[in-house]
Amino acid sequence: MPGARRRMRGEPEVMVHPSDAERAEVSEGDPVELSNRLAAVRLDTPASRRGDFTAILREVRWELDAMGHAKVRIFVSGGLTEASIRDLNRYADAYGVGTAVSNAPVIDFSLDVVEVEGAPRAKRGKLTGRKHLWRCPKCGNRGIAPAAARLGNCPACGERVRDLLHPLLRAGRRAGPYPSAREVRDHARREIAAAPDPFAETP
């Protein structure tokens, strides 16, 4: 089960696994390597790659039991709801729930590692590598493209698109002058005024 390992001093180990939708990858080497300190595995599955999450948990539980780790618990997170938890209760021991228990409208987003020391790297379900974030000044269409690609015209209206990302630091040094607080505030106001209402009801 490839994934990051987290340990606090004096605490059992927890394996964090960004699971993919096609299969649960549980290798014999990982539980043996972690020995008796392994207390739980956490599966955090992006909604876009979820697939049959119950089947993934069943396979993880099976493999852990088969390798003598019946006491290792399964912790699940990633876009969970009350309904999905009921379906997963047979195999999961604990849950991490955020958005579903919010008491206000939310804009759901996540931050992901996509590049390490210049090399593209990301968990399954995410697009690797540095990117352009572009916007069309005419119709407002937005999109992403690989950083090495040359930006062209908007696929919706044909207008030339603009890159929205402007680096302020390069190799730990300023890439140029910083905008003033007034400039940042004025820019933010213009962006908010031009943006669609994220909470507006769709017809």
Residue tagged 């549980």 (tokens)? 26
The pLDDT value given to residue 62: 92
The domain locations on the chain are: 4-101, 130-194
Per-residue pLDDT of the chain (203 residues; tens, 9 = 90+): 444 444 444 444 455 554 443 344 444 444 445 457 788 888 887 655 556 888 889 988 998 898 888 899 999 988 888 888 998 999 999 999 888 887 777 777 778 889 998 899 887 778 899 999 999 988 889 999 999 999 999 999 999 999 998 888 888 899 888 889 999 999 999 988 877 776 766 55
CATH match of 4-101 with 3.20.20.70: yes
- pTM of the complete model: 0.55
The pLDDT value given to residue 9: 47
End-to-end CA, the chain = 44
SS3 at position 190: helix
Exposed, middle or buried: residue 158 (CB in 10 Å: 0-12, 13-18, 19+)?
A: exposed
SS3 at position 184: helix
The pLDDT value given to residue 15: 57
Positive or negative: CA dihedral 155, 157, 158, 160: negative
The pLDDT value given to residue 46: 60
